[in-house]
Structure 1
Amino acid sequence: MSNSSKTPQISIIIPAYNCEHYIGQAIESILNQTYSSYEIIVVDDGSQDKTREALQPYSQHIHYVYQENQGVSVARNHGLNLARGEFIVFLDADDMFLPDKLTTQLAVFEAQPQLGLVQSGWRRVNQKGEILMDATPWNYVPELNLEMWLRWKP
């Protein structure tokens, strides 16, 4: 959680299941954001590895909750119920944010307050962090309506 005690503008929800080897990178990518009014909610969905221990170094920065294994959707919904932010961002435990992600996406909302959702592209990398490909869904899904959302699941 950011160092401020005020209500965060963004709630970042991370569903976690047996991700001890990479959840630290996900948390670090949030802590390295250029934007700082956020809270981090980690919902451990019944991990049987050392996910909880891997999160110990971040205990001052996260809100950690454990639940019996019920699946990623239930974990995300649990995080939503705990969220205090005006905006919600989901981050999978094996993914990372680029440093300007929150700043850039929040700027889109500020410029166009009628929007209800801002979607970004993503970058696939290997275990060494080398870029494999950049995904730019706006090139093949020009309008993100309900049909395209269900078909492409960006």
Structure 2
Amino acid sequence: MQILLRLVRYQIWALCATWPPLLLCLLALGLAWLGASALPAGSVLLATGAAILVFDAAARLRQAEMIRAEILCIGGLQGSALKVFRQARASWCSRRAALAAASAAGQGRTARELVEKWGYRPWHVFPDHAFSARSPFLRAGFWKSVLGLRQ
């Protein structure tokens, strides 16, 4: 029974860490399916985007596991755990994964207070500087992070 309970708890935690890219993936697949007959090229682009979002969800899960392990090792959001948590604040998906990791490690309230103190709100879904010359969409490091090629 304990093993089943741990497995269910992990699945819920993993879903909390990865729901933003999974939701966007389902949205892209739905739009691709709806527009398949009207605009086949657009559907291919949307399906490609959905595939990239699956990789992003896997990368966010790995990131959340790493952040959670660091918080548990340090015993709270301080020192190197705070540094790792802070690195995840630039994008919505990373922020949600970091918040889920902190909650799983028992530091959810502290993490939410930090994120709010940094000025992020739930409607801040685009990465920092998304619509400027410093846009992360134009940088290889962002795409390596999305595809899970960089930790």
Q: Note whether the superposition's TM-score is higher than 0.5.
A: no
Q: When the two structures are superposed, what TM-score results if normalisation uses the length of structure 1?
A: 0.27
Greater strand content: 1
Greater helix content: 2
Of structures 1 and 2, the larger Rg is shown by 2
Q: When the two structures are superposed, what TM-score results if normalisation uses the length of structure 2?
A: 0.27
